[in-house]
Amino acid sequence: MIDIEVLHRVAQTLAERKEADPESSYVSGLFHKGTDAICKKVAEEAAETIMAAKDKDLLHVVWEVT
């Protein structure tokens, strides 16, 4: 089951970082580069999570999703 509070905190953190200086915030930099850059990063992280899950590397899965 998804914890709505966790999703709320993630959304709040992203909103705050979006407004930060792109020179000092990786997330802000992605937002300034546009949707394609964000999608590529999400796809990269998803692939790394899938590979860690395939390898049954729980610590790596946790690392990728946090």
Q: pTM to 2 decimals?
A: 0.76
Distance CA 5, CA 12 (A): 10
Looking at every residue in the chain, the average pLDDT score rounds to: 93
Q: 54: pLDDT confidence band, cut at 50, 70 and 90?
A: very high
> How far is it, in rounded angstroms, from Cα 19 to Cα 4?
23
Q: Average pLDDT in the 16-40 region?
A: 96
Calculate the alpha carbon distances from 6 to 10, 36, 52 in Å. 6, 25, 22
